């Protein structure tokens, strides 16, 4: 029962965002500031639900330690590549972690990496959205494994490439909701078009990291997973 409740809470966190986005586009108000405040309430609620779902899951101390280490590695990788515009291994690490350890672990690695790295690169209104976006990247990789366990090196590289754009679109939500009006599909597409080249650098970097380091990194993570499964 506790495990079922944890999954309900975890996936409910993801469901809040598309519902809120649809409400913002409903046309009931054109004052973007009102929606901007609501956006932060919603994103914090979504993250809180997912963290609570993880807390209710039965996780071994080893698994928690591995998640913490991978989150720190993702943060360190982002800081190390900070000089390159939007090119960093954080997305690749979150996706690899989710693919090997599952959706919940993937979310925790991605969100932790975002939070920790921003202590060095700067916290701001973008932090919860980065936590959500990188967490979702990790969780979606866990779902991909259940659907396609033999996705292969090139398939995973393509998935990482797509997440360069998905990540950018999620980050565009907070600036679109907070600073753009009217809130509709046309204005959101315009915001995404403005960030296209920046997102393309992210996508290309993700694919490159996956092709260069993916197989070896996955083997290391699989080894840790097998060790945790030994009783």
Domain CATH for 75: 1.10.1760.20
The whole model's pTM is what? 0.87
Strands (E), 64-198: none
The answer to whether residue 7 sits within a structural domain is no
Whether residue 51 lies inside any domain: the answer is: no
**Which of 189-201 are b and which e, b meaning 16 or more Cβ less than 10 Å from the residue's Cβ?**
eebbeebeeebee
Residue 209 lies in a domain: yes
Is residue 164 a part of any domain in this protein? yes
Domain span holding position 108: 62-229
Residue of 125, 130, 127, 124 lying closest to 110 (CA atoms): 130
Residue 24 lies in a domain: no
pLDDT given for residue 146 in this prediction? 84
As for how many domains the chain has, the answer is 1
* pLDDT score of 1: 57
Any domain includes 38: no
**What local confidence, expressed as pLDDT, does residue 24 receive?**
63
In a domain, 22, yes or no: no
Provide the pLDDT for residue 28.
Answer: 56
Residues of the chain falling short of pLDDT 50: 30-33
Neighbours of 11 (CB within 10 A): 15
Asked if the structure places residue 114 within a domain, the reply is yes
Q: What is the pLDDT of residues 33-66, one digit of tens each?
A: 467 677 778 888 888 888 887 777 766 778 888 8
In 3-state terms, what secondary structure has residue 102? Answer: coil
């Amino acid at each position: 029962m506790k495990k079922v409740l944890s999954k309900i809470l975890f996936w409910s966190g993801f469901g809040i965002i598309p519902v809120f986005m649809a409400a913002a586009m409903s046309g009931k108000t054109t004052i973007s500031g009102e929606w901007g405040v609501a956006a932060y309430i919603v994103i914090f609620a979504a993250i809180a639900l997912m963290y609570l779902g993880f807390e209710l899951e039965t996780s071994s101390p080893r698994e928690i330690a591995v998640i913490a280490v991978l989150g720190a590695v993702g943060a360190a990788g982002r800081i190390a590549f900070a000089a390159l515009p939007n090119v960093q291994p954080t997305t690749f690490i979150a996706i690899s972690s989710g693919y090997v350890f599952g959706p919940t672990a993937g979310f925790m690695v991605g969100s932790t990496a975002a939070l920790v790295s921003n202590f060095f690169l700067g916290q701001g209104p973008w932090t919860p959205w980065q936590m959500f976006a990188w967490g979702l990247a990790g969780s979606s990789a866990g779902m991909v494994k259940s659907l396609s366990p033999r996705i292969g090196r090139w398939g995973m590289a393509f998935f990482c490439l797509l997440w360069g754009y998905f990540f950018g679109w999620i980050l565009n939500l907070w600036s679109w909701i907070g600073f753009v009006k009217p809130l509709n599909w046309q204005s959101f597409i315009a915001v995404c078009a403005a960030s296209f080249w920046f997102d393309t650098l992210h996508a290309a970097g993700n694919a490159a990291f996956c092709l260069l380091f993916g197989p070896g990194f996955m083997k290391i993570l699989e080894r840790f997973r097998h060790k945790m499964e030994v009783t």
